[in-house]
Amino acid sequence: MEQEFVLEAFLREDQGKGASRRLRREERKIPAIVYGGGKEPVSISLWHNDLKKGLENEAFYSHILTLDLDGKKESVILKDLQRHPYKPLLTHADFLRVDKDHEIHVSVPIHFINEETAPVVKLEGGAVQHQLNEVEVICLPQDLPEFIEVDMTEMEMDQVLHMSDLKLPKGVRIAALQQGEDHDQAVVSVHLPKGAKSDEGGDGEDAAGAEQGGGEGGDQE
C-alpha cells in the first residue's frame, strides 16, 4: 500500500531570527517555506515532532508529501532541511510545490538486495563496495519511485555496475545521464579484499625462493 505523509502547516506572519527562535522555543514548531509551482513563496510553520517523526522513515525523503495548510492541501517534496549543529533539533525546512504535469528532480535511495547471499560474495569471497547510496531521478510526480533496487545475485568478480546499468521504472530517468556518458558514475563494484591477490602471489614467490635456495645449498656442498 502506498504510504501517505500529511503534515499540518500554519501560515507564518512574523519574520526574522527572533520570531523563529520564539516559534521553536515556545510553540514547538519550526519555520519553513513553500515555493515553486508558479506561485509566490509562502512562509509557514510545522510541528517540530511531526516532521521529525516523518524523517525517521526513509520513504519520507523521496515521497510526494501533503501539506495541510488551513484545510487546503498542497502536494510538495522536501528540498532542503536544516538541523541544529549539535542538538537533535530541526531548525528550518524548504518544500517545493509539485503538480502532475511537471517533472521533478528528486534523490531516491538505492537498495542493494541479495548482497550477502550472492555467489560472488558467499562462494568467491568478494568484497562489495558501494560508490553511491542514492541517485537523482527525473520524472513526473506520479512516477516517483520510493527507491531504486539493485539485485546483487548476478554480480561477478571485478564487475562494476554503473548508473546506466540500473533498472528504472517506466517514466523515470537519471539526471546525471542527461549530461552525457562522462557522468555515468559507478554505483557498486565487487573485488577480492585488498591484499588477497598479493598474498597468493607471495606464497608462490616464497616457495620458489625456497626451492632456489635449496638448490644453491646443494651446489656448495
- Give the C-alpha separation, 66 to 157, whole Å: 44
Is it the case that residue 50 has pLDDT exceeding 50? yes
Give phi and psi for 7, each to the nearest 5: -120, 130
Percentage of the chain lying above the pLDDT 90 cut: 69
Report the chain's mean pLDDT, rounded to a whole number: 86
**Which residue ranges form the domains of the chain, and what is each CATH number?**
5-97 (2.40.240.10), 104-195 (2.170.120.20)
pLDDT-derived band at 32 (thresholds 50, 70, 90) equals very high
pLDDT average, residue stretch 39-57: 94
Q: How much is the pTM?
A: 0.77
pLDDT-derived band at 19 (thresholds 50, 70, 90) equals low
Name the residue with higher pLDDT: 82 or 21.
Answer: 82
pLDDT average, residue stretch 47-57: 94
What string of H, E and C letters represents the secondary structure of 113-161? Answer: ECCCCCHHHHCCCCEEEECCCEEEEEECHHHCCCCEEEECCCCCCCCEE
pLDDT at 17: 67
Q: Tens of pLDDT along 149-166?
A: 999 999 999 999 999 999
pLDDT-derived band at 84 (thresholds 50, 70, 90) equals confident
Is it the case that residue 97 has pLDDT exceeding 60? yes
